[in-house]
Amino acid sequence: MSEQVLLIEENNGIAILTINRPNAMNALNARVFEELDQFFTQRYDDLSLKGVILTGAGEKAFVAGADIKEFAALDLEGGIQKSKTGQDVFFKIERFHCPVIAAVNGFALGGGCELAMACHIRVAGMHARFGQPEVNLGLVPGYGGSQRLVQLIGKGKAIEMLLTADMIKADEALALGLVTHVTDPGKEVEKAYEILTKIASKAPLAVKQVIALVNAYYDKQTDGFAKEYTDFGYTMATEDAKEGAAAFVEKRPAQFKGK
């Protein structure tokens, strides 16, 4: 039986997904993409799931890139299809109904950096390193790196990273806004779990719509302001909104049901 490439553990409505290819620095191969796609497709609208943590096995790498061995036989059409398939999986993560946090425990390079950026929040250990080194291979990013890196850190620094292929350390990633927290090594998942536990106490339908609204800002086909007033009306009519208002008035914790 072949080794599991995606380990899944779930506690209190929070799933921890561990990419399990430590001997390959957790490089993204076709099987990893298939298993990520399967998880995020099957749980896409499962409101019992309150959050997801993505991390890598071992201490060296979150994901050190794509599996370059799979690139050798690709031609023009094969390259286009491989890129599109990866982007489709990462869009499912970005558009997932509950928060997905990347717990970056080492190298996040190329496809690994792109995977982390597709998550809603990024937590990094002090030894983490980020980079998009595709130009070293005569390539450009294929899984959204040229777009999300600009969104997260701005055009100037993004284009410098993309053109030089330089890696940045966790503290610089924090200063640039690429990550939101830096932890001691080995504490990345713990910090991510802490954040998700807080979010899990909020109204799940409101959490879902907030994620969709933030994504709408970057969707050129969507009027984000119009979506906001529509979603405000939608959430206003939910049972959770009535419960939230009642709990506020009665000075008690709200008991949200996702309705």
Domain hosting residue 84, numbered range: 6-200
**242 Cβ partners below 8 Å, 6+ apart?**
none
The β-bridge relationship of strands 181-183 and 121-125 is: parallel
Q: Which residue in 3, 134, 172, 250 is the catalytic one?
A: 134
109 belongs to a structural domain: yes
Q: In what order do the strands lie in the sheet containing 181-183?
A: 6-11, 14-19, 51-56, 100-104, 121-125, 181-183
Shared domain for 191 and 209, answered yes or no, is: no
The two tokens of residue 156 are 């100037």
Name the DSSP class of 253: -
Shared domain for 137 and 56, answered yes or no, is: yes
Shared domain for 21 and 122, answered yes or no, is: yes
**Residue 190 known to be catalytic:** no
Q: 47 pLDDT exceeds 50?
A: yes
112 belongs to a structural domain: yes
Shared domain for 151 and 242, answered yes or no, is: no
* Residue whose C-alpha is closest to residue 132's, from 195, 66, 181: 66
Shared domain for 240 and 127, answered yes or no, is: no
Q: What is the dihedral of CA 210, 215, 216, 220, to 10 degrees?
A: 170
Compute the C-alpha angle 31/38/218, nearest 5°: 100
Which alpha helices (H) appear in 106-236, and where do they start and end? Answer: 111-118, 145-153, 155-164, 170-176, 188-200, 204-217, 224-236
Shared domain for 26 and 64, answered yes or no, is: yes
Percentage of the chain lying above the pLDDT 90 cut: 92
Q: Which residue in 94, 114, 194, 228 is the catalytic one?
A: 114
Shared domain for 56 and 151, answered yes or no, is: yes
Q: What is the pLDDT of residue 202?
A: 95
**Residue 94 known to be catalytic:** no
Q: Are 50 and 195 in contact (CB under 8 A)?
A: no
93 belongs to a structural domain: yes
Shared domain for 179 and 236, answered yes or no, is: no
Shared domain for 121 and 102, answered yes or no, is: yes
257 belongs to a structural domain: no
Q: What is the pLDDT of residue 1?
A: 42
Q: 159 pLDDT exceeds 80?
A: yes
Residue range 7-11: mean pLDDT, rounded: 96
Confidence of residue 72 (pLDDT cuts 50, 70, 90): confident
DSSP string, 92-130: HHHT-SS-EEEEE-SEEETHHHHHHHHSSEEEEETT-EE
Place of tokens 């950096």: 113
Count of alpha carbons within 13 angstroms of residue 190, beta-carbon side = 7
Q: Among 167, 185, 200, which residue terminates a domain?
A: 200
Q: 2 pLDDT exceeds 80?
A: no
| Domain CATH code at residue 104 | 3.90.226.10
Shared domain for 234 and 129, answered yes or no, is: no
Shared domain for 194 and 210, answered yes or no, is: no
β partners of residue 16: 9, 53
Q: Among 178, 200, 222, which residue terminates a domain?
A: 200
Shared domain for 142 and 31, answered yes or no, is: yes
Q: Are 65 and 112 in contact (CB under 8 A)?
A: yes
Q: Are 5 and 31 in contact (CB under 8 A)?
A: yes
Q: What is the largest CA-CA distance in the chain?
A: 65
242 belongs to a structural domain: yes
How many distinct structural domains can be found in the chain? Answer: 2
pTM listed for this prediction = 0.94
Residue range 1-7: mean pLDDT, rounded: 81
